[in-house]
Structure 1
Amino acid sequence: MQPWALVTPASRGIGMELARRLLLTTNVPVVATARGDPDQTKENLLSGLRDVKENRLHVLKLDVLDEQTIHDAAVTVFALFPKKEYYLHLSLCVPGLLFPEKSPSQIDYEHALLTFRTNTLGPMMLLKHFSPYLPRKSTALPIPDSTELQGLPQNHGTWATMSARVGSITDNRLGGWYSYRASKAAVNQVTKTFDNHLRTSAGENALAVSLHPGTVKTGLSEEFWGNVKGEKLFSAEFAAEKLMKVLCGRTVADRGKCWDWKGEEVPP
């Protein structure tokens, strides 16, 4: 069985850098998604990657707010990578949206609904349609340290969803950001629930985790750059490098939890 990897969305920010890193440091085919122009996204992803073969990258149109596009992309992937020959080894689900309500009076219903649709329901729909491609108990994974698994988690497939430290109920000391905090806490619950499913369907062949990338210099956090110390404001490239290192260091004992960019557990 041959592995492949998924990054969704990958048109900008952390998603783009995660996809580029997979192309640079692994040998697997990479499926990336974009809500906008797939051809432009593919050009951007390959820019400057001279030694990467273009046929390793497949960019599909997908909008996490539109389940039909998720279904259609999954059908396309099945045609590209038939289940008898391929399996999904690494899925990186990174949709994100933030409206920073500082007080209850600033909560806007439509903004809160869009936050949950993007941050929580989006990843849920992605796992609905793409998780069947993850390994099962009967899947024969490549041997650890083989060429196929270069730069990837070695002993298991991984479903990783972007969360945030502010999604931790235990760590919530400041309040605010109601819809974003709640949506990311929900992501962690989805991760744990899905991992329980994988324990049954895949055993130790697949696990699910959530990730906290730190404060990254992307459009999501642009409003708050001035409040963050320079050494704690990361580039998307740095965040992608750290998160891949964290994922490659996880074992089955780490499953179902949220991990930050340093490899430390974020409490629920």
Structure 2
Amino acid sequence: MLTTTVLSAALTDGSLPLLAGGPLPALGPDFMDPEHLIRSFGTAALIGIVAVVFIETGLLFPFLPGDSLLFTAGALVAQDSLQLNIWMLCGMLFLAAFAGDQVAYAIGRKLGPKVFSRPDSRFFKQKYIDQTYKYFDKYGGRTIIVARFVPFVRTYAPVAAGVGKMRYRHFVSYNVVGALLWGVGVTLLGYWLGNFSFIKNNIEALLILIVGVSVLPVAFELWRARRKEQAGETVEGRDTEYDEPVERASVEREVFGNAATPPVPGQAGTPAVDDEVGEHTQR
């Protein structure tokens, strides 16, 4: 029964565009266009949307339209272009967002610092890890909630929590709140706004705007990284304040009360060196 419901809960016609005005012009790769993704899922729209959310949050693949996909799905349900029950959609998205972070935490806990010592590749950049630790340093454990709304950081924050051995009870509580606010909240926001006649009558322009807005944080981070690199605060996009294992370990100790990466004796930033510096200063 559930399988039949899921498979039948789909677009009005999977072979046609979602919108009466035709497919929207893509901004960037097709997999970053939420309307294109939803349309490509056809009769498996619910499964596809849930899978994308889980992959982005749990399988270390940050290049997916998380926020815009949630908002777009809610808006399309409101205008009956996507034949899904909004509460079933919200429930499944909450589970996907929650389970994704649980898997990411387990990956970090199991593999430890090896996860974050990988060399840069097409989909993995050390500068994203620097940014993640910066958020932990700024927001503490609440980063698990705040990161939900920040591209890239939401992918790596739960992994960092696992690497730093954040207490599981605290992690789960933050994860529940974050999954509700993001997975359910953003979807309902799209659904409620989609019920306004102005939104319904201009849904094509709205979706283009959503995609555009969703890439703004990425563009802003690139611009800020370039400014910092010119000022000498970053090296090739790496934040010099969080780019060393000992610096990350320091954040882990302060935020989680534990560090998977022990301090390196004799290296700047470690307690031993700091104590020696303090003694010399007193002398």
Q: Say yes or no: TM over 0.5.
A: no
Larger-gyration structure (1/2): 2
Per the normalisation by structure 1, the TM-score is 0.31
Q: Which has the higher strand share?
A: 1
Per the normalisation by structure 2, the TM-score is 0.30
